[in-house]
Amino acid sequence: MSKRRVILAGAVLSIALVGCAKDDTVQSSSTRTERQKDSILAGSQIPGAKAVKKTMTVADSAAARQARIDTSQQNP
């Protein structure tokens, strides 16, 4: 039973160390921004692409509206 506990403790320790390791090995090969990736996705024919395009349109609208509000408050 002692051997079993040692193996279990080793497995738990290994999992903990892997979970705490830095993620230096994963490097993104793409230099595109999230917005550019979403734009490419929105133009594709895959299911859900129209929803991505609509979401981007709504977000742009909200950002433009907020910019108008900010500008109007600066210049009363």
Return the pLDDT at 56.
92
Range of the domain at 61: 32-76
Whether 68 is in a domain gets the answer yes
Q: What's the residue count for the chain? A: 76
**How far apart are alpha carbons 12 and 29 in whole angstroms?**
33
Whether 51 is in a domain gets the answer yes
Whether 36 is in a domain gets the answer yes
Per-position b or e across 8-38, b if 16+ CB within 10 A of its CB: eeeeeeeeeeeeeeeeeeeeeeeeeeeeeeb
Q: pTM, whole model, 2 decimals?
A: 0.52
What's the total number of domains in the chain? 1
Average pLDDT, integer, range 35-62:
90
Secondary structure class of 53 (helix, strand, coil):
helix
**How far apart are alpha carbons 45 and 61 in whole angstroms?**
24
Whether 10 is in a domain gets the answer no
Average pLDDT, integer, range 49-56:
91
- pLDDT 10s digits, 6-30: 888 888 878 877 777 666 555 556 7
